[in-house]
Structure 1
Amino acid sequence: MSIEHRIKQVIIRTLSLEVDAEEIDDEDELFGGGLGINSM
């Protein structure tokens, strides 16, 4: 398992997101577009 995949899993679990790590592209933005988690 890559470090990128593990980081995605931590973000998903911590923020209770309803997505799978595989749905998040390595180039997706965390803030604004992409995951849109600009108000944590």
Structure 2
Amino acid sequence: DAVGGDERVRVAQGRFGADMQVALVNDGPVTFQLRAAPSD
């Protein structure tokens, strides 16, 4: 099936609850910088 109607992106099919192989990319340390407006 296509994702979001974009025919260029294909999605692999699997069985619910089955063991599936997943490849992780960039699974290392990460830094998030959060900024919030000052509250009054």
TM-score, with normalisation over the residues of structure 2?
Answer: 0.19
The structure with more radius of gyration: 2
Larger RCO (CA under 8 A, 6+ residues apart)? 1
The structure with more strand, counted as a fraction of residues: 2
